[in-house]
Amino acid sequence: MTTASLLAADLVLTVLAAAGWLGGGAAAAARRRPLALALAAVALLATLARASTVVALARAGWWFAAEKVVVAAPLSLAAVAVAGPRLLRAADDIRSVAVPLLFAGYAVSAALLVTVLHGYPVSASVGLLAVAGVVAATAVSWRLLDARPSRTVSRVAVAVAVAALLAGTGLAVTPGTAPAAPHEHGYPQARISDQPTRRFTLTAGTATVRVGGHDVAAWAFDAQVPGPELTATVGDVVEVTLRNRDIGRGVTLHWHGYDVPNGQDGVPGVTQAAVLPGQEFVYRFRADQAGTYWYHTHSVSDVGVRMGLYGVLVVRPGPATGLDVVVPVHTLADRPLPDARVESVEAGVPVRLRLINTDSTTHRYALAGTDFRVAAIDGHELSGPTPVRDTAVLIPAGGRYDLVFDAPATPVALHVDGRRVYSTGAGSTATDGWPVLDPLSYGRPAPAPWSRFDRDFTLVLDRGLDLRGLLPRYAHTVNGAADPDIPPQVVRRDDVVRFTIVNRSQVVHPWHLHGHHVLVLARDRRPATGSPLWLDSFDVRPGEVWEVAFRADNPGVWANHCHNLGHADAGMMLHLVYS
């Protein structure tokens, strides 16, 4: 069983247990003896079954099971200890076990709320609040059912509830590590250079664009989606003037995957102020690294990128040889981009397909009709890529794959999620059943550049209740907190930093650290065995644990976030800060 299915199974069992106890309690109160006994039996079985899911999750990693072991297990044991013996003794008066059954239901429900609303890391305050809730709910039920508990029992219940509530709340409001405010430093300036300069101007504005034969309202650079393709040769200085015509919420340019100096990174409130209508900002950086990249606004990025504020950045090592095709995939107003394109190519011509996923979710790419090699991922050339055939690749949100092949005499066709987007002739191939390439075992390995790590950070991705704003929200969280309350990761220059990224949630989180490429060390404790894999965007699927590392060689304050931009907007964003 995968960790993701264990998490799901455990959730289902918990709901069953809670429903069984609560339903049993209600049935007992209504003197429905057979029903009460049946529901209590379901609850008991589900509770017993949970013992195995919780143990299995703990073996997969403490992050997956912490609150289940620390909060849910004791509450479940208390539930069984209180309700079980009374059930056995309730031969005549089933109503007398109503309160113990309800207590068991509240206990399991409270633990369920801890998992669903808080998750990891577990804290004493959360445990105490759960206990307070259970005792208070039980006391109320007791009164309502008029079961007349003794005075002592009532007083003890009230005292326990109040004490747990006070202690839990007190612990919860105790200030923890306050995050440093990355928003108040001076924005660094670009260095001026006298090298060959590629100058571009991009004007952001609302526009109507044509997608698949339909007019669609968009936000666009130079009135086109995607924006103009920016190209440079290694060693060029790239200078881009960004103007905002009428995007009221502001725009910036973030060079996705390009490890530019911090001041050029385009994150509003961190490296610059958003460019408002009528304003402009000039970006300048040297193109040191060849490869396939893209640019997009980072101001209200969830909306801005979805509406069309993105484009391609390709840096070539020298003059292009053969055929170089860029395929930036996007979904604009529920319609897929780009439109299908057909071009004839002479046999033997070397072809490089630069695949870019500019959406917030994973896409599946399948190249039919030829052997190909994956030459590069996220702009970094792979070592020793071997030819593959009839194999699909999954590209995470923000990620890029460069596929290379020599054009065969027969047509080739590239499919994205089953839709043909590029081909060199007619024909059709079913690509649905193809296996998927695992980049962690593709290509020739090389020794790891580091044997020790100066800093270790763990990011546990989950969902949770965020109460710090004006309105509570069900946030996407990192280590139990949501932006802007996630403590930053502080490093010193030249530290070798290791991240362990754990996905406890039920959805994919494409992780994206700005300003650095990370080397993949392991996934689910299995070391990467293929070519060194330097990524800037990688899918951490439900239940997965990724270990990645990098050298802190680009000082500044860097966004570190989920590139499902809706998730980032809903809290899943923190910062890497150089001390």
Give contact residues for Cu ion (rule: CB under 5 A).
509, 562, 564, 567
Residue 6 makes CB contacts below 8 A (sequence gap 6+) with: 53, 56, 57, 60, 64, 543
Question: How far apart are CB 564 and Cu ion at their closest, in Å?
Answer: 4
Q: How far is CA 270 from CA 121, 183, 298, 489, 559, in A?
A: 27, 5, 11, 15, 8
What DSSP line would sit under 327-357, residue for residue?
EEEEEETTEEESPPEE----TT-EEEEEEEE
Smallest distance from the beta carbon of 240 to Cu ion, in angstroms? 28
Residue 503 C-beta: closest distance to Cu ion, Å: 9
How many other C-beta atoms lie within 10 A of the C-beta of residue 364? 16
Closest contact distance (angstroms) between CB of 449 and Cu ion is 29
Q: How far is CA 26 from CA 23, 90, 540, in A?
A: 5, 15, 42
Q: How far is the CB of 566 from Cu ion (least distance, A)?
A: 8
Phi-psi region of 244 (alpha: psi -120 to 50; beta: other; left: phi over 0): beta
Q: How far apart are the first and last CA of the chain?
A: 42
* Residue 463 Cβ vs Cu ion, minimum distance, rounded to whole Å: 10
Q: Which is nearer to Cu ion, 68 or 509 (CB)?
A: 509
Among 344, 502, 528, 508, smallest CA distance to 448 is for 528
CB of 476 to Cu ion, least distance (A): 6
Residue with Cβ nearer Cu ion (370 or 477): 477
Q: Measured from the CB atom, is 284 or 514 closer to Cu ion?
A: 514
Judge whether 241 and 284 are in contact, CB under 8 Å. Answer: no
- Per-position DSSP letters for 296-307, written without gaps between them: E--TTHHHHHHH
CA distance 424 to 59: 50
In the complex, minimum distance from the CB of residue 462 to Cu ion, in angstroms, rounded to a whole number: 10
Kindly tell me which of 71 and 502 has the beta carbon lying closer to Cu ion: 502
Which C-beta is closer to Cu ion: that of 517 or that of 567? Answer: 567
Classified as helix, coil or strand, 170 is helix
Contact 271, 263 (CB under 8 A): yes
**Residue with Cβ nearer Cu ion (424 or 564):** 564
At closest approach, how far in Å is the CB of 562 from Cu ion? 3
The residue (of 363 and 509) whose beta carbon lies closer to Cu ion is: 509
Report the C-alpha gap between 301 and 267 in whole angstroms. Answer: 10
By beta-carbon proximity to Cu ion, the closer residue of 354 and 504 is: 504
Nearer to Cu ion, 402 or 539 (CB): 539
Identify which of residues 274 and 478 has a Cβ nearer to Cu ion in the complex.
Answer: 478
Name the DSSP letter for residue 262.
G
Smallest gap from Cβ 306 to Cu ion, in A, equals 15
Of 272 and 358, nearer to Cu ion (C-beta) is 358
Max CA separation in the chain (angstroms): 94
Please classify residue 163 by burial: count the beta carbons closer than 10 Å to its beta carbon, then call 0-12 exposed, 13-18 middle and 19+ buried: middle
* β pairing state of 526-527 and 534-535: unpaired
DSSP class per residue in 472-517: -EEEEEETTB-TTSSPPEEE-TT-EEEEEEEE-SSS-EEEEETT--
Which contiguous run of DSSP H or E holds residue 255? Answer: strand 254-256
Among residues 509 and 551, whose Cβ is nearest to Cu ion? 509
The pair of structure tokens assigned to 506 is: 């039920």
Nearer to Cu ion, 396 or 515 (CB): 396
Which value, in Å, is the radius of gyration of the alpha carbons in the chain?
28
User: CB–CB of 196/235 below 8 Å?
Assistant: yes
At its nearest, how many Å lie between Cu ion and the CB of residue 510?
A: 7
Q: How far is the CB of 560 from Cu ion (least distance, A)?
A: 12
Q: Least Å distance between CB 513 and Cu ion?
A: 14
What gap in Å lies between CA 59 and CA 105, rounded to an integer? 27
Beta carbon nearer to Cu ion, 408 or 566: 566
Instruction: Quote the least distance from Cβ 460 to Cu ion, whole Å.
Output: 13
Tell me whether strands 323-332 and 350-357 are parallel, antiparallel or unpaired. Answer: parallel
Strand, helix or coil for residue 557:
strand
